[in-house]
DNA sequence: ATAGTCACCTGAGCGC
DNA sequence: TGCGCTCAGGTGACTA
């Protein structure tokens, strides 16, 4: 699924096309996502005031509260401006109507598709930060608080692999399996080294490479491996810029050495044995 | 507190 | 073609 760049790409599409529109209908065909989807009727008739993001959660703000959407591993949101019959994995439609009198466009359908159903929809009245899903999240990776010193402090005395630390969302949010491998490559750090062995300089490099990787991926519209599309249906193009993820046995783009794959906990990591010494 | 495992669910790709 | 196996972008719950 979507990691932070894919969620951010989705957020921008939603904000651009649906902000100011009024939610006129909710159609939940399959409520059994990661958690049972229960959306209140009271949302109907409310205007979408804005779309923000916290970690990988999309926050659709209405006057009475927020719709909190997570895309899980295989979820995507598309905006349809013409009727399309719902497919097998098209679980939820939110229908928005354009109400500005001078531009009487038709309805827009925000369609949630998710083959694996690991995603989620929640409604939180009032302050969104009080939702239990958002309570224990760490810092945003693109924010100033995510600094070399911050990461270094969190790495101290931890026995887990550095890649696991980077993917620990109580420390820093939004970094999943693709971008963790990519950021570690760019910082020349092997994914399996203990977090406690991270040096101050290494932490500095890793924070910089993480921000760079995420920012470049956002500019490319994210990474599409199989399912992900932006809200206009287009894939992300960052896959072409991946150095190591999914490139086992292929030559490192910098030195030509064969890219290796190793298990880090329950996930696969990819690295160049020469560049990441 | 931390680290590791399991669970949720479907589909793609591979070897036989 | 089909079967069985492994793997897949996430993350909360549970165990030791």
A64: CB within 7 A of chain B nucleic strand? no
A114-141 pLDDT tens trace: 999 999 999 999 999 999 999 999 999 9
A185-241 pLDDT tens trace: 999 999 999 999 999 999 999 999 999 999 999 999 999 998 889 999 999 999 999
Residue pair A19/A48 in contact (Cβ under 8 Å)? The answer is: yes
Count CB neighbours of A270 within 10 A: 26
Residue nearest the C1' of C7 (CA based) = A268
- Does A49 score more than 80 pLDDT? yes
Helix (H, G, I), strand (E, B) or coil at A180: helix
Q: How confident is the model at residue A98 (pLDDT cuts 50, 70, 90)?
A: confident
Query: How is residue A213 annotated by DSSP?
Result: H
Q: How confident is the model at residue A104 (pLDDT cuts 50, 70, 90)?
A: low
Tally: H helices and E strands in chain A: 5, 10
Q: How confident is the model at residue A150 (pLDDT cuts 50, 70, 90)?
A: very high
Nucleotides of strand C lying closer than 7 angstroms to a protein CB? 7-12
Helix (H, G, I), strand (E, B) or coil at A91: strand
Which residue of the set A158, A261, A267, A274 is catalytic? A267
- The tokens of A48 are what? 């979408």
> Which nucleotide across the nucleic acid strands is nearest to A137, CA versus C1'?
C11
- The tokens of A2 are what? 């979507």
A88: CB within 7 A of chain B nucleic strand? yes
Of the candidates A60, A59, A57, the residue with the CA atom closest to the CA atom of residue A70: A57
- Does A100 score more than 80 pLDDT? no
Question: Strand A107-113 and strand A120-125: pairing?
Answer: unpaired
- Edge-to-edge strands, sheet with A107-113: A22-28, A90-97, A107-113, A76-80
Q: How confident is the model at residue A1 (pLDDT cuts 50, 70, 90)?
A: low
Catalytic, A267? Answer: yes
A224: CB within 7 A of chain C nucleic strand? yes
Residue pair A186/A216 in contact (Cβ under 8 Å)? The answer is: no
> Which nucleotide across the nucleic acid strands is nearest to A7, CA versus C1'?
C9
- Residue A196 neighbours by CB under 8 Å, 6+ apart: A155, A156, A157, A158, A159
A228: CB within 7 A of chain C nucleic strand? yes
Length of chain A: 277
Residues 127-156 of chain A within 7 A of strand B, judged by CB, are none
Give the CA-to-C1' distance from A168 to C15 in angstroms: 19
Residue pair A212/A186 in contact (Cβ under 8 Å)? The answer is: yes
Which pLDDT score is estimated for A107?
A: 93
Q: What is the mean pLDDT of residues A143-152?
A: 98
Q: Output the average pLDDT for chain A.
A: 95
């Amino acid at each position: 699924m979507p990691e932070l760049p894919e969620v951010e790409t989705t957020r921008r599409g939603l904000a651009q096309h649906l902000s100011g529109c009024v939610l006129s209908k909710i159609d939940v065909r399959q409520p059994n996502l990661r958690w049972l989807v229960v959306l209140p009727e009271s949302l109907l008739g409310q205007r979408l005031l804005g779309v923000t993001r916290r970690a990988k959660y999309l926050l659709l703000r209405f006057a009475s509260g927020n719709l909190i959407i997570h895309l899980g591993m295989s979820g995507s949101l598309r905006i349809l401006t013409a009727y399309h019959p719902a497919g097998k994995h098209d679980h939820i439609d939110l229908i928005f109507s354009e109400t500005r009198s001078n531009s009487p466009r038709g309805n827009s359908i925000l369609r949630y598709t998710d083959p694996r159903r690991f995603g989620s929809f929640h409604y939180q009245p009032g302050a969104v930060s009080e939702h239990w899903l958002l309570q224990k999240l760490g810092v945003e990776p693109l924010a100033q608080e995510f600094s070399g010193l911050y990461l270094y402090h969190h790495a101290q005395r931890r026995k887990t692999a550095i890649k696991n630390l980077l993917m620990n969302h109580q420390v820093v949010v939004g970094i999943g399996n693709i971008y963790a491998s990519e950021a570690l490559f760019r910082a020349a750090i092997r994914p399996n080294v203990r977090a406690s062995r991270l040096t101050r300089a290494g932490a500095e490099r890793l924070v910089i490479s993480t921000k760079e990787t995420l920012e470049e991926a956002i500019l490319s519209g994210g990474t599409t491996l199989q399912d992900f599309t932006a809200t206009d249906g287009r894939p992300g193009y960052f896959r072409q810029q991946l150095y190591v993820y999914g490139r086992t046995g292929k030559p490192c783009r910098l030195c030509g050495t064969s890219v290796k794959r190793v298990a880090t906990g329950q996930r696969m990591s990819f690295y160049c044995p020469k560049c990441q010494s």
